[in-house]
Amino acid sequence: MNKRLNKSRALEEIQKRFKKAEDLLKDDTRTEMFLEKIEKKIKWIPFLAQEFKNIPTMVSMVRSYLKGNYTKIPKRTILAIVSALIYFLSPIDIVPDWIPLLGQIDDAIVIATCWNLVNKDVEDYRQWKIESRLQVK
């Protein structure tokens, strides 16, 4: 099997984790602990590639979805985001995270692939957040 990660393989890796993502989303407590681990991992990455800068927005979107505050998100989008985050959090994936730089590059490819799939829905979410803040004021 080819160990090289490209966009096609990244998409496969995301889809491969849909069942795990579905199971995770059924348990709010486990999901929140998972999201907290993601936030901690982000703080330890020595450089934040553009792809990783999108992760906090993805985490926020999952939280809003879980709380029922934002439900205008297709199920497939939330599954893709959580699946990509599962890949990102896993220390052992196509290129293990302990391999300097390369371990983060494969994570970045998976996150970027996910972002390309869901960016329209994420932009809708961002707009909703802006409008929600304006209504509160």
Is position 2 within any domain? no
Structural domain for 56, as ranges: 7-136
Encode pLDDT of 51-90 as tens digits: 688 899 999 999 999 999 999 999 999 999 999 999 999 8
Domain count, the chain: 1
pTM score, whole prediction: 0.84
Q: What are the DSSP calls for the chain, one per residue?
A: ------HHHHHHHHHHTHHHHHHHHT-HHHHHHHHHHHHHHHHH-SS--HHHHTHHHHHHHHHHHHTTS---S-HHHHHHHHHHHHHHH-SSSSS-TTSTTHHHHHHHHHHHHHHHHHHHHHHHHHHHHHHHHHHH-
Residue ranges in the chain whose pLDDT is less than 70:
1-4, 46-51, 94-98, 100, 136-137
Is position 26 within any domain? yes
